[in-house]
Amino acid sequence: MCGITGWIDWNSDLTRESDNLERMTDTLAPRGPDAAGTWITTHCALGHRRLSVMDPENGAQPMIRYTGDDQYVVVYNGELYNAPELKRELASRGRSFTTTCDTEVLLVAFMEWGRACVERFNGIFAFAIWDMTAQELFLARDRLGVKPLFFSQRDSLFIFGSEPKCILEHSAVKAEVGAEGLAEIFVIGPARTPGHGVYKDLSEVKPGQCMVVNRAGVKTITYWQLRSTPHEHDVQQTAEHVRELLEDTVIRQLISDVPVCTLLSGGLDSSALTALAVNYYAKNGQGNVHTYSVDYQDNDKHFQAHAFQPNSDAPWIERMTSHLGTVHHPIQFDTPELVTALHNATLARDLPGMADVDASLLLFCHEIKKGATVAISGEAADEIFGGYPWFHREEALQADTFPWSLATTMRADLLSPDIAAWIRPQEYIGDRYADAVAEVPQLVGEDETRRRMRRMSYLNITRFMPTLLDRKDRMSMAAGLEVRVPFCDHRLVEYVWNIPWEIKAAGDREKGILRQSLQGILPDDVLWRKKSPYPKTHNPNYLTAVKGLLLDVLDDPTSPLLPLINVKKIRELAESDTASSNLPWFGQLMSGPQLFAYLYQVNLWLKHYKVSIG
């Protein structure tokens, strides 16, 4: 994985802007700690930071290739899991290769098939290719949006990059936020509306989209989206096909020239991926799989089961590592580390994020990086297979809003009256929810139950899953660690999308069809274990610490957060028992302590980035 950036300017000579390009590229150094490169011509500048995974010796970027006199230059962040097949096909069509890295495969595929190349890719990617002859920039992002790609369009300028920070480093872009940006922070956050960059004049290439930038303007093309079709398989056939797809996906994603490990929580998703990896390693004589888990100091003393987190992970991790014989690395953090990491987690996102859920993952990835460069993670299975509690609760299914963000009235009450009147929080989230529902691809003839569950699935895949993929990408890449997410294979997503709910929930269990597909791969007790989300700290010291951080912000008259919030309300909340309740403020994991940490991150973000509002 890597970091990419660059820009087009039709009215200037960019060969004079090498310093600007170097600064933009340097902001992405954590994403690519192994190498850096820039390429610049009159109207196009490209920058790249590299994390070497495939062909470390020959995969330098920007990469340049020729067809006759036509020159093509690429900067690329991602992995093509079907690169070997593509390479064979391209070779059969007369194309030659000088490396074994997938960057060259991607570039040659574009040279052969043009914009249609993206439809052939199986992988996670964000890239930009400059066609010198056509004087045209082509950009694309993978189907599920695993890899990020932001852009800013201003007059003759088109600026892009893996993260907002590299675009904000450009001299033409300022850290400004308007009413919509504030609504994203205070109403939608820590999620984001697809395509929305929060900052003024900053947008995001949506998953499954590509862009063409030339003198005629900027054209956006959707090359992939979910399509609703009848499901032809019965329960057994469905389970078998899910298993085949998952096995193929994991095998593809285990290929690497550097060490690969798995993230193991002892839950269904991570245990399944780890078991498949162990089977593959054993079959090919590749030795033991290394696994990593995260926990928190004194969690065993303070853990209290509740609807969103019914049991702790530790015994299940031990069960799986013993069963599979992995080389296990348990990682543990204490409250002071989590609190301190809130700062770096904010800078990794360039925005306030998921509080300790972000911070702990950032710390975790730094520890994993000491022993591995690539990790396999179970992200996205719950969105795709319907694992979250809100798939199974009538009040969430009937709620006329996003089910992970039900406390909209409370959120609105935390804003200052002036800001609330300006951003209109209830109206804003209502509009964003209506937009999402209007996008759902319907299937003619479905009954009301199936339609409702299809809608819930769509909301999760297109609105909630990106939040977790953003988190995974920013925190892992800030540590120079590549994390692969097999459940985001588009073939699997397309197939599972059209499985009727009664089959998806086979056996009247969340992710029932996935459990059935994994029979014989996992022990029965793990196979049927009740879902438990990413672990968070239950230590009351964390609440005390983040409450203290926020109160310090409230006590400082220079805090940029103060004009935006209802200070009195937030003080009252901090002093009430509500702060320590398990009622989620966002998702499954973010309750009172995370709300305080999030508001602290908002203040930090405003201050560090010198954000202007208006």
Q: Choose among 147, 195, 152: nearest CA to 170.
A: 152
Cα–Cα distance measured from residue 73 to residue 66, given in angstroms and rounded to the nearest whole number? 9
Name the helix (H) or strand (E) containing 330: strand 327-333
Cα–Cα distances (Å) from 269 to 272, 276, 361, 532, 578, in that order, read 5, 11, 17, 10, 32
Cα–Cα distance measured from residue 257 to residue 392, given in angstroms and rounded to the nearest whole number? 42
- The number of residues making up the chain comes to 614
332 SS3 class: strand
Cα–Cα distance measured from residue 270 to residue 521, given in angstroms and rounded to the nearest whole number? 12
Cα–Cα distances (Å) from 438 to 188, 443, 451, 458, 463, in that order, read 18, 13, 13, 11, 13
Strands 209-214 and 136-141: antiparallel
Cα–Cα distances (Å) from 307 to 26, 171, 393, 533, in that order, read 44, 49, 11, 11
117 catalytic per annotation: no
Judge contact between 415 and 566, C-beta under 8 A.
yes
CB-count burial class (<10 Å; 0-12, 13-18, 19+) for 484: buried
How many other β-carbons are positioned within 10 Å of the β-carbon of residue 378? 22
The catalytically annotated residue of 2, 101, 210, 365 is: 2
Q: Choose among 188, 178, 263: nearest CA to 466.
A: 188
Residues 6+ positions from 93 with CB-CB distance below 8 Å: 112
Q: Which residues pair with 314 in a beta bridge?
A: none
Peptide bond into 259 cis (omega under 30): no
Q: What are the residue numbers of the active site?
A: 2
